[in-house]
Amino acid sequence: MHSISLFNWIMWIISILIFADSSSSSSVCKCTNQTLCNVIPAPDKVVLGFSLRFDNYKLYDWSRINTIVPFSKDRQIPMEFICYAHSYGASVLIPPIVSKDIILNVSRHSEAVTDILKDVQKNFADGVNFDFEQPLTADESKLYTMLVAKTRVALLTINTAYQVSVDAAWSPDCIDLRCYDYIGLSKASDYLVIMAYDEQSQMAGPPCYAKANSPYNQTLSGIESYLKSGINSSLLVLGLPWYGYIYTCLSFDNERCQIEEKIFRNSQCSDSAGRQLPYSYFMKVIQNDAIRKWDSDSVSPYINVENMNSTQQMWYDDPLSLGFKYELARSLELRGIGFWNIDLMDYSNTLLNKLMRNEMWETIDVFLN
Ligand SMILES: *[C@@H]1O[C@H](CO)[C@@H](O)[C@H](O)[C@H]1NC(C)=O
Ligand SMILES: *[C@@H]1O[C@H](CO)[C@@H](O)[C@H](O)[C@H]1NC(C)=O
Ligand SMILES: *[C@@H]1O[C@H](CO)[C@@H](O)[C@H](O)[C@H]1NC(C)=O
Ligand SMILES: *[C@@H]1O[C@H](CO)[C@@H](O)[C@H](O)[C@H]1NC(C)=O
Ligand SMILES: *[C@@H]1O[C@H](CO)[C@@H](O)[C@H](O)[C@H]1NC(C)=O
């Protein structure tokens, strides 16, 4: 039902060619070195940082990171940022805005693709990273795959170096009602970025208990499901959290923090009972003499903080827990690792912050070596 005819595809390609021809002369490269506007192809080993802002990037460790996906609010990417990233050979992938309305209405696809191409070309980006996360049925998901495929065909028609990546749930099994066609998406892109975080969006219970954001086991079983579905490990990048959750305990017993019920997409218990906080927050809590504990089931650190009337439990990831998961990506020969997001460290200029940032960057070598 959703297939499009050969004729439509041919008309599509022709319209792209016309578009590519008319637009190629309209953007002016503002890098002092013009070669820095060239499109960079997908690296063999991907180390991807999602980012939120443009004021820290000179402090990123560009010797270890090679792909940036900026989620800035105003969607204006400073040209200096592109020139800077490209001077290190790093790619910049734009997250296109695609709504469910556009995905489900095929007659809106071509305009959407045209907008995406304009955005990529105007910014001298190296391609796109699709981050659509709404519920879709298996039938609807074919249309999402179609839109991604059309975008890729259009980009490759302009320049074969352009990249397309797609963000994927921690497991392919309809997580959060996202019944996406991951095999189709993997064929229509350079790689999927598995979002191995918010893994407690649908927990067992009630009663509901605070748990790790990215437990080792659960992350492993998600990756294995992708591999079992037939997706090649070279098409999978493991995205991991540089943030954690803080939960208020209704009761606290034997390290178990019972939390309130918060329904999320059909699940009675979910991590929306907690609050997300950056890696830098948990480091400050520990500096203030809180005790970092270790949960060997989830291979994750956690902290209990006693307040006057209640206990709070914090679950986060640090270089040790991340290192185990980077090693997992290495041993399973995945295409890469990624982080949501690299602006969640404290970039202010203190010795302690520098040490913490170095430790986080250096842990990436577990995957690279
Ligand atoms: C321009 O940038 C390219 C790619 O980084 C580099 O190889 C080349 O040496 C640069 N040219 C000048 C004149 O700096
Ligand atoms: C699909 O998009 C077209 C073009 O924007 C619009 O005319 C039409 O009403 C839309 N169809 C639905 C079902 O929303
Ligand atoms: C997976 O991809 C790699 C690299 O492209 C290739 O060498 C290998 O043959 C592929 N494996 C399978 C099972 O298709
Ligand atoms: C996770 O790992 C722990 C410790 O290695 C093990 O005891 C537990 O059974 C595992 N849980 C699952 C769901 O695989
Ligand atoms: C602790 O509980 C007491 C009594 O219920 C209440 O008056 C007080 O405001 C609470 N303190 C905090 C910090 O929540």
DSSP string for residues in 13-81: HHHHHHHHHHHTTT----SSSGGGGSPPPPPSSEEEEEE--SSSGGGS-TTT--EEEE--TT----HHH
Rg (CA), the chain: 21
The CB density around residue 125, as the number of other CB atoms within 10 Å, is 24
Chain centroid offset of residue 305 CA: 30
b (16+ CB within 10 A) / e for 277-297: bbbbbbbebeeeeeeeeebee
Q: State the pTM of this model.
A: 0.91
**How far away, in angstroms, is 333 Cα from ligand 1 center?**
32
**How far away, in angstroms, is 324 Cα from ligand 3 center?**
24
- 333 CB under 6 A from ligand 3? no
Query: Ligand 5: which residues within 6 Å by Cβ?
Result: 308-309
Spatial distance between the Cα atoms of 197 and 169, rounded to a whole number of angstroms: 9
Q: Whose CA is nearest to atom 7 of ligand 3?
A: 234
What pLDDT sits at residue 145?
Answer: 98
Q: Which amino acid is at 13?
A: I
Chunked in runs of 10, what are the mean pLDDT values of the chain (369 residues)? 50 54 64 97 98 97 98 86 98 96 98 97 97 96 98 98 98 93 98 97 93 98 98 98 98 96 90 97 96 98 93 98 98 98 97 97 97
Domain locations in the chain as residue ranges: 6-242+319-368
The torsion angles phi and psi of 335, rounded to 5 degrees, stand at -65, -30
Q: Whose CA is nearest to atom 4 of ligand 3?
A: 234
Half-sphere exposure of 247 (CA within 13 A, CB side): 31
* Ligand 3 pocket test target in 227, 232, 332 with most atoms within 8 Å of CB: 232
What pLDDT sits at residue 131?
Answer: 97
What pLDDT sits at residue 25?
Answer: 43
Nearest-ligand number for the alpha carbon of 190: 3
- 108 CB under 6 A from ligand 2? yes
Nearest-ligand number for the alpha carbon of 32: 1
Catalytic residues: 133
What pLDDT sits at residue 22?
Answer: 44
The CB density around residue 101, as the number of other CB atoms within 10 Å, is 8
DSSP annotation of 105 reads: -
What pLDDT sits at residue 266?
Answer: 82
Look at the domain 6-242+319-368 and name its fold: TIM Barrel (3.20.20)
Give the distance between the most distant pair of CA atoms in the chain. Answer: 70
What pLDDT sits at residue 176?
Answer: 86
Q: Whose CA is nearest to atom 2 of ligand 4?
A: 297
Spatial distance between the Cα atoms of 37 and 31, rounded to a whole number of angstroms: 7
